[in-house]
Amino acid sequence: MRKAIFLWLAFVWTVGLIAQPNYLQEALPEHNARMQWWRDARFGLFIHWGLYAVPAGAWQGKDYYGEWIMEEAKIPVKTYETFASQFNPTRFDADAWVQMAKRAGMKYIVITSKHHDGFSLWNSATSDYDVADRTPFRRDPLRELADACQRHGLRLCFYHSIMDWHHPQAKGETFAQYREQFLKPQLHELLTQYGPLGVLWFDGEWIEEWTEEQGRDLYQFVRSRQPNILINNRVGKGRNGMQGMTQGNAVGDFGTPEQEILGEKSAVDWESCMTMNTHWGYNRADKNFKKSADLLWNLVDCAAKGGNYLLNVGPTAEGLFPAESVDILAKMGNWMDKHGKAIHGSRAWVHHAEGPNIRYTQGTDGTVYVFAKAAAFDGQRRLLLQKAIPAVGATVLRLTDGTKIGWKPTREGTVFTLPDLPAVDDIVVLSMQAKPAVLADAPTIGEGKSVVVFAKQTNLALHPANARQTLRYTLDGSTPTVKSPRYGRPLPLMHSADIRVRAYEKGKVPSETVQARWVSALAGIRLQPDPAPQYTAYGPATLLDGQHGTVDFQKGNWLGFNGKDVEAILDFGQPKAIQRVMATCLRRQSSWIFWPTALEWATSDDGIHWTVRTTESLPVADPAAADERRTFAQPLSVTTRYIRLRATSIGKCPTWHSGAGSDSWLFIDEVSVE
C-alpha cells in the first residue's frame, strides 16, 4: 500500500514537472493581458523598510548612510543583528500606509520583503532572522499590508534581493545551496502565503554568482506559483546598468531605469524607480526632498513615454512615513484627484512631447491629454501646440476644473487661451479629441553628426528632406522660427556654432528642431578605448566641443568608460606653444562613477615617441565624497604637436560601495589646452 502511495506521489510530482507551462514562451495576447493592470496603473509606491531604519543613516560619527549601511560602514554581521532587538515599529499602521498611497493616486505598493542585509520582513519558516523571531515587534507587517491592500484595492508587490550579506552560503562555491535551500523556499513562502501578488521586484542580481540562466529558472519558479505575477528584468542579468532597460532577449517583464527616466518613448514596458530625497532607506539627516511638482512632472514624463513611475518612501523604525514624504504624497494626491484620468489607463500617444515643457498621453477612449508646465505658456495665457490638431468643433477642457478652453488654428499651430495665468508650479492638463499633426521630415546638418570639429574655417551645409522644404536656422542655440534666416547655400563658419534647423513645408507642421554643435577646435583627437555605447555623447569630439557635462550625467556631453583606463591624443597639426593642460572628470558615486586615480600628460613631435611631462594623483574615493564635476589643470610650458592624456580608472567599485567589486565608471569631458 505504502509503495503504491509513493509511486502515485512520484507520478503526480513528475507529471507536475512535465506539465509546467514554459512561461518564457508566453503568447502576446496572454502577455498583454497579464501586463494590463500594471500598464493601466502607471504609478506605484516603493517602500524600503528594514533594520537599517534603526541607525537611520548614522554610524560612528557619519550620517550619510542608507539601506547599505551594513556594507558601507562595514558593520559586522553580529553587530548589525543587534538592530533587530531595537526594531519595534509600534506606530506601524498598514491601513494608513496603503491609504496614503491610494490617496496619492498610486495603484500598487512594492515593499522590501528582504533587502541585501538578509533580514526577512515577514514571519519566515525558512529563517529565524526575521521580524517575528528577532524583534520585539513580533507581528508580520507583510501580512498586515497584504490585508490592507486587499481592503483598499491596491496590489501588493515584493522587492526581494538575490544578493544576501547575512546568509553564510550566499557567495562563492556554496551559492547554489543558498539559492535552492534559502532563496527559493523563502520566495515560495511569499508566493503562497500572502495572496495574489502584483510584482516580484528582484534586485541585487549584479553579483558574479548570479547568471541569466539562473534568472530564467527563477522566473519559471515564480510564475509556476503565481502564473499572473509580473517579474522585473533584475531577475536575470539583462539590465543595462542604471539605464535599466533589458539588453537582448534577457528575461523579465519590464525594464527598470533607476533614478532616471528614459529620454524617449519606448514601446517596451519599463518603470522608473526614484527616491523622494537621496536615500532609499530612512536617513534622518536627509532633508533633500524633491518638490512635489517635479515628482508629478516625472510621473507625467514616464506616462508620456509609455512607462510607470515607482516613487520611494523610506519609513522610520517606528513605522512612520517621514513627514516630508507624507506631505509630498498628499500634494501629489491633490493633483491626481483632478488629473489622474490623464495618467491612469493612459498609453503613449503618437507624439509624446513637444519641447521640454509639453507632454502628451492618450486615454483608452482616444482622448488626447496635453500636459503643459507654466513655462510652456507665453507668459500670458496662451499655449501653442503644433503636434496636436483638435478635431473640428472639438471641445477642449481643462481637467483642473472642467473649464472649456478657447482655441484657434494659426499658421504656427493651434493657440489655446486659458481664462487665467497658470501658477509657476502648475501642470495644466487639457483634454481633447485631436489628431496627430504630420510633421515635416527633419532636415540634416552636414553629414548628420551631432558634433563636428573643424580647424579654423569650414562650410556648413544644411540639407532639406525634400525639395518642397524651406529651412530656417540659427547658430546661437535658439529655436528657429519663421522669422529666422532662411538657408540658401553653404555657410562659411570661422567660429564654433550651436546650430539649430527646422524644415517648413506647406500643409505640414514644422519639423522637429535638429541640432548640432560645430566646434572650431585647435586639434584633432584620437581616443581609446571606445566609450561605452550608452555614454558616447558625440564621440571623441565631445572632448573638444567647449561644453561641459553636468552632474546630471544622463544629459550627454560625457564620455563614459566602464572599468577601463582612457587615452586621448590631441593632434594640433603642427607644433604649438602651450602653457596649461586640463581635463574634466565626474564623480557621482551613487551611480558608480569615480574620478580616475591619476592623470598623466605626455607630449610628442611625431605621435609615436612620447615624453611624460606630468602626472597628477587625484583625490581617493571615499563614502563621504559628494557628487562633483571638476576640471583638473596642470601647468605645462612646452611647444609640441601632440598631447597625450592617460586617465587611470579605479577599475572596480571600492569595497565600501554598493557596487563593490563591480566595474566602476570613468566619465571624462573637455580635454583642453591653453
- The footprint of ligand FHN (CB under 6 A) covers 67-68, 203, 258, 273, 280, 658
Reduced to 3 states, what is the DSSP secondary structure of residue 658?
A: coil
Rounded least distance, CB 259 to ligand FHN, Å: 8
CA of residue 397 relative to chain centroid, distance: 32
> By C-alpha distance, which of 650, 529, 640, 518 is closest to 579?
640
Rounded least distance, CB 234 to ligand FHN, Å: 8
d(CA 388, CA 361): 11
Nearer to ligand FHN, 280 or 561 (CB): 280
d(CA 135, CA 85): 5
Rounded least distance, CB 476 to ligand FHN, Å: 40
> By C-alpha distance, which of 554, 539, 14 is closest to 263?
554
**Which residue has its beta carbon closest to ligand FHN?**
280
Question: Which cell numbers in the block locate residue 354?
Answer: 513637444
d(CA 193, CA 384): 54
Integer angstrom CA distances of residue 346 from 253, 465, 620: 19, 33, 47
Rounded least distance, CB 593 to ligand FHN, Å: 14
d(CA 27, CA 386): 38
Nearer to ligand FHN, 236 or 446 (CB): 236
Nearer to ligand FHN, 258 or 545 (CB): 258
d(CA 101, CA 43): 10
Nearer to ligand FHN, 67 or 189 (CB): 67
Nearer to ligand FHN, 106 or 499 (CB): 106
Rounded least distance, CB 360 to ligand FHN, Å: 28
Rounded least distance, CB 312 to ligand FHN, Å: 7
Rounded least distance, CB 528 to ligand FHN, Å: 30
Reduced to 3 states, what is the DSSP secondary structure of residue 567?
A: strand
Rounded least distance, CB 434 to ligand FHN, Å: 37
**What is the b/e burial string over 310-321, where b = at least 16 CB atoms within 10 angstroms of the residue's CB?**
bbbbbbbbebbb
Residue-wise DSSP of 479-516: PP-TTSPBP-SPEEE-S-EEEEEEEE-TTSBPPPPEEE
Nearer to ligand FHN, 71 or 512 (CB): 71
Q: Hey, how many other C-beta atoms are within 10 angstroms of the C-beta on 575? A: 12
Nearer to ligand FHN, 62 or 347 (CB): 62
Rounded least distance, CB 204 to ligand FHN, Å: 6
Reduced to 3 states, what is the DSSP secondary structure of residue 272?
A: strand
d(CA 336, CA 41): 13
Rounded least distance, CB 112 to ligand FHN, Å: 7
Nearer to ligand FHN, 72 or 600 (CB): 72
d(CA 487, CA 467): 13
Question: Which cell numbers in the block locate residue 333?
Answer: 494626491
Rounded least distance, CB 278 to ligand FHN, Å: 12
- Strands, E assignment, 88-161: 108-114, 155-161
Place of cell 532587538: 85
What letter does residue 331 receive in the DSSP assignment?
H
Nearer to ligand FHN, 239 or 387 (CB): 239
Rounded least distance, CB 390 to ligand FHN, Å: 41
Question: Which cell numbers in the block locate residue 314?
Answer: 523610506
Nearer to ligand FHN, 58 or 394 (CB): 58
d(CA 258, CA 309): 10
377 phi/psi in degrees, rounded to 5: -85, 165
d(CA 256, CA 393): 42
d(CA 215, CA 317): 33
Rounded least distance, CB 159 to ligand FHN, Å: 7
Nearer to ligand FHN, 68 or 83 (CB): 68
Rounded least distance, CB 658 to ligand FHN, Å: 5
Question: Which cell numbers in the block locate residue 651?
Answer: 577599475
Nearer to ligand FHN, 273 or 514 (CB): 273
Cis-peptide, bond into residue 529, ω within 30° of zero: yes
Nearer to ligand FHN, 542 or 658 (CB): 658
Question: Which cell numbers in the block locate residue 572?
Answer: 594640433
Residue 446 backbone zone (phi > 0: left; psi -120 to 50: alpha; other: beta): left
Rounded least distance, CB 310 to ligand FHN, Å: 8
Q: Are 58 and 65 in contact (CB under 8 A)?
A: yes
Nearer to ligand FHN, 49 or 561 (CB): 49
d(CA 261, CA 239): 15
266 contact partners, CB below 8 Å, separation of at least 6: 245, 255, 305, 306, 307
Nearer to ligand FHN, 106 or 432 (CB): 106
